[in-house]
A and B are shown apart, each in its own frame.
Chain A
Amino acid sequence: MGREGAENTMTALPLILPAWRRRGRIIQSDAWVLALCGIYLLIAAPSAPELLSRQGLANIVSNALPLCAVTIGQMLVLITGGIDLSVTATIGLASVAGASAMIGGGTGLGIAAMLATGLTVGLGNGLAVARLGMPPFIVTLTTMMFGSGLAVWTTHSASVPGLPSSFMALGRPLVPLALVAGLALAVNHGLRRTVLGRWLFAVGGNPRTARVSGVPVAWTLIAAYAASGLCAALGAVLYTARLETGSPVLGQRIFLDVIAATVIGGTSLFGGRGTVVGTVCGVVFITLVDNSFTLLGLSSFVVLIAKGALILLAAVIDLLRRRHRT
């Protein structure tokens, strides 16, 4: 009997192998993240029914929106084959800079200060990577340390309260939704329909080919890091408005979520691949996990372990995708 079973396994192998190859197609697509969300909801919802309540869903959306802005910027850098570790520091720095400017000069000036901070950090990163040829990891690690140090030092690690009410309006759910949706649509269009979008993929796919083919590699890299800085600044606007105070440590804990969301959403850590749709799905999924774990009353350390496992899983899937292509 047992022997017969072994024989069955042997004859089944040729049948299983094509199935595994077909699975490669599923891994390639963006749809699997949505499927993952659905499956996760089915498993988690019975234990945490609040997740699907009106308030629960509203929480997911309001948590996901600022994260989404930051993650879309990160995706642009990852597509070029780099990484931007400085986004969390940018959020903190932009938050306190903007809040201080706002108290003195009004909402408009404050928002401008936030965006200018993000743009400056991003341009600095881009120039160092593109013009000096430094490794993105080192460049953005340095700006991360510098930025977060500066934010805490200038504010003596105190938050900046008393923001104008016109700014607080940005914290209401519909405004962030419109802003982030606009950002997502614009970046989606840019990536798929513009020359700059094609350059981003070309630089990430093979920078040497890109250079020989006349792609302005340096400018493309600078644009990607600047965009990431701007997206982080938009995240800072939304986080600050929601918190109603400027804080130097704002967003310090979201970095892992940013990376996890991009990779789960199908952006390749090796560069050359990434979509806005996938990234948005990744953000929704990671927010879902985060919120449900909180609702289940799990320790933040358990959450950390689970997120680590998720990033590992996503990175393995990224690797499998590469294998299936070769």
Chain B
Amino acid sequence: MSFAVAYDRVSKSFAGIPAVRDVSFTARSGRVLGLVGENGAGKSTLMNLLGGLFLPDGGRLQLAGERYEPRSPLEAVRRGVAFIHQELSLFSNLTIAQNIFLTGALDRPRATELLASVGLSLSPDTPVAALSPGERQLVEIAKALSIDARVLIFDEPTTSLTAPERERLFALIDRLRGEGRALIYISHALPDVLRICDDVVVLRDGMVVESGPREAFTHDRLITAMVGRALGEPAPRPGACRGDLLLEVALEGIAFGLHRGEVLGVAGLMGSGRTELARMLFGLDRARGEIRLQGRSLRGLSPRARIARGMAFLTESRRDDGLLLDASVRENATLAAPLTSTEAVATACASVRLPAPMLDRDAVRTLSGGNQQKVVLAKWLLTRPSVLILDEPTRGIDVAAKREIGRVIDELVTGGAGVLLISSELEELMALSDRLMVMRQGRIVGEVHRAAFDSEAILRLALGDAS
């Protein structure tokens, strides 16, 4: 049996933090390989290595038996590796044909042919903006076929599809497999994986924990493998006593309260609506429903007014909307509370363990991820928040900084604040939260108290399986 893609002891770290370690597996021609794992298990890193976004630190990749070291996405395309992305990567302002032949000469008859081969009876001159998500995905596949891709990678291909669109996709995947192409299928939808894949690889913490033919797996075994062994009873957090109700939320499909002295965790897969919830709470996006802070409605209030009433929001991306990268630590830390005294700034920086000499020295651009996150945290501490929303506060930072952030959360709730903690790392959520809400498709689908924390059960809720 010929193999298309082989990972051989591949490792990759970012800023000293390993993303994948010693990964070996093979995707064969004429078969579909399912790749499963929790958020952050290393799936994206493995696929980005294949797509030429970066090179491995150790180990090697092979493609059709030859050494494969793509240095750019273009090189990956030239070698016949194509991605069908989770966030569709077509230009909606161009036509189908223009998208398919983005880098080559426009060949309308060939475009029609390709569209027919994926079961789309549309004119190649149709603008992509007019297509449904499912149709766009088929155009992406047609684009992959236009370069005669031998390896196709599907990243969460069913999230935005209707049921008939999904069946059509599966039929097409069957046909591509029959043509002898190698397919890699990444999904959280485990029933789909068990249905259409021939082989399955389970990743956890950047390592392959199990792999084998589909017949070797059941739904339960997949989940157990993804989560790992039982983690033992989480240690009780000091000061975990619940006080008055701080925040009351009643939105479509989302109803909960946050109390003083409480850390409320929000679990869910990427795209389950956690960040959207945080943005609505903070007044960055319009919310349908009622949000009350200490009994007073927040309807129509700007983020500025919400900050004045005691809300704070550490966003998911420091670079995009957390920091002024070219400004100093002091300028960043005092952005939300501009009239802060120098002593107060120094105290806040000390309480997040930011070295004092950093205050005015350089642009925060030059700091490490961990120190950058501490700057954002110091900014919010200076507003003296009663409700702090943290969206992925430990993403991309080192272990020591993670521990500091955990400590700051503890201090805040001990001081009577309430914390809403969003994280993709289930272990972290379970370690820090008093209570967990699980979100799926923009709704809260379950709530678990600390005594009943169980990673398998939480993952089941997040995945939304009936079983």
Contact = CB atoms under 8 A, between A and B. Distances in A.
Interface of A: 195, 198-199, 201-202, 205-206, 208-216, 272-273, 325-326
Contact of B303 (A202, A214, A272): A214
Interface string B295-334: 0000000111011100001010000111111110001001
Contact of B335 (A198, A208, A272): A198
A208 B320 contact: yes
Contacts of A199: 338
Chain B contact residues (Cβ within 8 angstroms of A): what range? 20 to 34
B304 A205 contact: no
Contact of B304 (A206, A214, A272): A214
Interface string B358-398: 00000101000000000000010001000000000000000
A209 B335 contact: yes
Contacts of A325: 326, 363, 365
B325 A206 contact: yes
B324 A272 contact: yes
A206 B324 contact: yes
Contacts of B336: 213-214
16 contacts: A195-B338, A199-B338, A201-B327, A205-B325, A206-B324, A206-B325, A208-B320, A209-B324, A212-B313, A213-B379, A214-B336, A215-B335, A216-B302, A272-B324, A325-B365, A326-B365
Nearest to A204: B324
Given A211-B284, A215-B335, A326-B365, A202 B324 contact: yes
B282 interface: yes
Given A198-B331, A215-B335, A206 B323 contact: yes
Nearest to B331: A198
Contacts of B323: 206, 209
Contacts, number: 66
B216 interface: no
Contacts of B466: none
Given A205-B326, A206-B323, A325-B365, A198 B338 contact: yes
B363 A213 contact: no
A213 B314 CA distance: 9
B1 interface: no
B282 A212 contact: yes
A150 B334 CA distance: 45
A211 B303 contact: yes
Contacts of B326: 205, 272-273, 325
Contacts of B315: 212
Find the residue from A208, A214, A272 having the highest chain B CB count within 10 A.
Answer: A214
A205 B323 CA distance: 9
Given A195-B338, A206-B321, A325-B326, 13 more contacts: A198-B338, A201-B324, A205-B325, A209-B324, A212-B284, A212-B313, A213-B303, A213-B307, A213-B335, A213-B336, A214-B306, A215-B335, A216-B302
A211 B307 contact: no
Contacts of B383: 214
Given A206-B321, A209-B322, A212-B322, A195 B339 contact: yes
Given A212-B284, A214-B304, A205 B327 contact: yes
8 smallest A-B Cβ distances: which pairs?
Answer: A208-B321, A205-B324, A214-B304, A214-B307, A213-B336, A213-B335, A195-B338, A212-B321
B332 to A, nearest CB: 8
A196 B257 CA distance: 36
B335 to A, nearest CB: 4
A201 B326 CA distance: 10
A198 B327 CA distance: 10
Find the residue from B323, B324, B325 having the highest chain A CB count within 10 A.
Answer: B324
B304 A216 contact: yes
Contacts of A209: 320-324, 335
Nearest to A219: B304
A5 B325 CA distance: 44
Interface string B248-286: 000000000000000000000000000000000010100
Contacts of A206: 321, 323-325
Find the residue from B320, B327, B338 having the highest chain A CB count within 10 A.
Answer: B338
Nearest to B339: A195
Contacts of A326: 365
A198 B313 CA distance: 20
Contacts of B321: 206, 208-209, 211-212
A325 B365 CA distance: 8
A215 B322 contact: no
Contacts of B339: 195
Contacts of A216: 302, 304
A210 B334 CA distance: 11
Contacts of B303: 211-214
Nearest to B324: A205
Nearest to B363: A325
A212 to B, nearest CB: 5
Interface string B201-240: 0000000000000000000000000000000000000000
A216 B284 CA distance: 13
